[in-house]
Chain A
Amino acid sequence: DARVTQTPRHKVTEMGQEVTMRCQPILGHNTVFWYRQTMMQGLELLAYFRNRAPLDDSGMPKDRFSAEMPDATLATLKIQPSEPRDSAVYFCASGPSPIGTRLEDTEAFFGQGTRLTVV
C-alpha cells in the first residue's frame, strides 16, 4: 500500500527552536509539494520540487524556512528559528511526472501532515 509518510505527526516546540519535518514520497514519484494549512489561509503552497530540484518556493518565507530533497526518498522542511505564527499543519504530497497525457499522472497523494505548535 504505497503512501506518503510524514514524520513527526505532531510537534510542540518553543519559540526560537529549529524544527525539521520529514517526508518520504511514494517510490517513483518525482514531484513533491509542501503545503501549510491554517484556518485563516487554508492550504498555502510553500515549495514544489520536480526531480529533486526546487521549481517554486515563492510561497516560503526565505529568512527562516528551507526545503530540500537530499535524495529521491526524502524531502525535508526546516524552520529556524521557529515562531508562534508558524503553528499550522504542514502537508507533504507527491505525484508522478506531470508531463504527458495520462490522467492518473495528475494526482497528488498527500501524507497525513505534521501538526506543529510553537509556544
Chain B
Amino acid sequence: AQTVTQSQPEMSVQEAETVTLSCTYDTSESDYYLFWYKQPPSRQMILVIRQEAYKQQNATENRFSVNFQKAAKSFSLKISDSQLGDAAMYFCAYRNISQRIFYGGSQGNLIFGKGTKLSVKP
C-alpha cells in the first residue's frame, strides 16, 4: 500500500522569506501523480501544485515550486516570498494513475500525508 509521510508537523517562516515543506512517499508504482493541497482555516482544500512522476522537470506555480526526486521518493514544496495568506495546513498527496483500461482495484486512489501547519510571521 502506498504511504505519504510529512515529517514536519509545524513550520514557521518570516513574511517575504522562503520556506520548504518536506514530503516523502512509498510506492511500487511507476505511474503516479503528486500534489500539494492547502487548507486554510476555512477548511476548504485547495490544490496548490501537482507533479507528474514521469516528468523530470519540477512543477512551478508562481511562488510555489517543488523539488521532485523520484529515486528518493521525495516531493518537497518551496514557497518563495511568503505572504500572510500562505498560513495554512499543507498536505502532500499521492495518486497512482494507470494508463491502462481497468475495471477494478484501487487505481486512482488519493492518499494524503498528515499535514504541516505553516505559520507566517509579519
Contacts and interface: CB of A to CB of B under 8 A. Distances in A.
B52 A98 contact: no
Q: How large is the interface on A (under 10, 10 to 19, 20 to 34, 35 or more residues)?
A: 20 to 34
Nearest to A98: B108
A75 interface: no
A31 B97 CA distance: 13
B68 interface: no
A111 to B, nearest CB: 9
Contacts of B106: 48, 55-56
Nearest to A113: B43
B112 A42 contact: yes
A99 B98 contact: yes
A48 B108 CA distance: 9
Interface string B103-119: 01111111111110000
B91 A31 contact: no
B107 A98 contact: yes
B95 A55 contact: no
A55 B98 CA distance: 15
Interface string B58-95: 00000000000000000000000000000000010001
A48 B52 CA distance: 22
Nearest to B102: A99
Interface of A: 31, 33, 35, 41-43, 45, 48, 50, 55-56, 89, 91, 93, 95, 97-101, 103, 106-108, 110, 112-113
